[in-house]
Amino acid sequence: TDTSLTWNPSEASSYLVELATDPAFNTIVYSATVAGTTATPTGLTTATNYYWRVTAENTCGMNTPSATFMFRTISAPGECGLSETPVTLLQEGFESGAPGWSTAGSVGASTWAASGVRTQTGDFAYLAVNLNTISDQRLTSPAVVLTPGLSNYTLQFWNHQTIEDGSSGCYDGGLIEISTDGGSNWTQLTSSTHAYDGPISSSYSNPLGGAQAWCGDPRDWHKPVVDLSAYEGDTVQFRFRLGTDSSVSREGWYVDDVTVQACEAATPVATLDGSALLQGRSDHTAVLDLNFYADNPITPTLQLTTTNSAAGDFLLTDLPPGTYTVTVKTAGYLQSLSVVTLSDWQSTAVDFGTLAAGDASGDNQVNILDLSILAGAYNTTSGGGSFDPRADFNGDGAVNIQDLSLLA
């Protein structure tokens, strides 16, 4: 998945663009310095929240980073959406063989077995060899209950094909079937994101002659996703079949990481995209304490701590939606308050303004007590015996007239 990021120009010679999978930018997945006001990250993961910021650079150096922005990439077929969580109903990576799977009913030789020659993940996949003799090689899954009440039921699997193809279809070929009655009857599955390559030839005694099949010759690892919505509530089994005719062999059909998955509604969450500046400072980095009050104005429903960026912005994710009175406070500053409504699966921007300096005592008031703390440390610098960081409101490592002016 690719995206395009744009921003307004400033007096800059270049811009550092950073993209991460977390709001703290601990996991940066894209970083580039560009001259213009557009960046185009590529190869992004589907159904993923991303966070990005821009830092301007000129002859004076790097500016403070911009506010943090967020977006979510679209979901690929078979993936659950923003308001859903995946429910795994079957998962098999063949690392310990194929417990619960069966090759019963195969015609001719059956070569389905664990192989480490090609794998999608781990050390093993399951391989059926494309023989030069007539065979119908079957690999049947355990029973799977497609639990009712969920959504987006899919069969997903990785496979690698080196199977004899033909000019207008397949000589040998692989296909998938489903049974809802314990294996008495089988129906070929056709609603896949990767269509079959064409019919298997009926001219050379292939037991699957005439059936639509895959026959990549070769085709590298890829993941078909098969829609199972029509089978909601059923107990089903799946059968992988490789049919071969009387001549010409190939490497065969590898299958790995078979998953049956559905989606269920997730508990709604919200995001608060906040900003809070600190009076008297150009660098607004600080540890912020936030209290969220819902029904009780005395006892907060939620208490969180976060770190403001140098530009004064912060991002809180996975919050319970609702309407709150939110207070923001940091050491040496009076709290700011705002009434905030957080909506399901939405990001809400809230500007808490500029927090006023002067609260040296931490009681959320500016009074004679704060003045006395400042007076006791006046004209001292960090490291001095009487220096008190509580009175250094602007954070410059000294208590002086600038701090007194902020207190006043």
Would you say the C-alpha torsion 131, 179, 96, 192 has a positive or negative sign? Answer: positive
The structure tokens 């090689």 sit at: 137
d(CA 319, CA 292): 10
Torsion from C-alpha of 379, 382, 388, 393, nearest 10 degrees? 80
pLDDT of residue 23: 83
Burial 234-258 (b: 16+ CB within 10 A, else e): bebbbbbbbbbbeeeebbbbbbbbb
Identify the DSSP state of 331.
T
pLDDT of residue 297: 85
d(CA 380, CA 125): 70
Domains of the chain, with CATH numbers?
Answer: 1-76 (2.60.40.10), 86-265 (2.60.120.260), 267-355 (2.60.40.10), 366-407 (1.10.1330.10)
Low-confidence ranges of the chain (pLDDT < 50): none
Q: Are 98 and 239 in contact (CB under 8 A)?
A: no
d(CA 34, CA 307): 28
pLDDT of residue 261: 98
d(CA 170, CA 208): 10
pLDDT of residue 385: 87
Strands 69-72 and 49-58: antiparallel
pLDDT of residue 28: 97
Q: CA 16, 18, 21: angle at the middle one, nearest 5?
A: 175
Q: CA 72, 76, 77: angle at the middle one, nearest 5?
A: 145
Identify the DSSP state of 230.
G
Share of the chain residues as helix, strand and coil, in percent rounded to the nearest 5: 5, 45, 45
pLDDT of residue 63: 86
d(CA 103, CA 221): 23
Q: Are 137 and 128 in contact (CB under 8 A)?
A: yes
d(CA 350, CA 340): 7
d(CA 102, CA 115): 16
Q: Are 82 and 347 in contact (CB under 8 A)?
A: no
DSSP state letters, 364-399: S--SHHHHHHHHHHTTEETTSTT--GGG-TT-SSEE
pLDDT of residue 384: 87
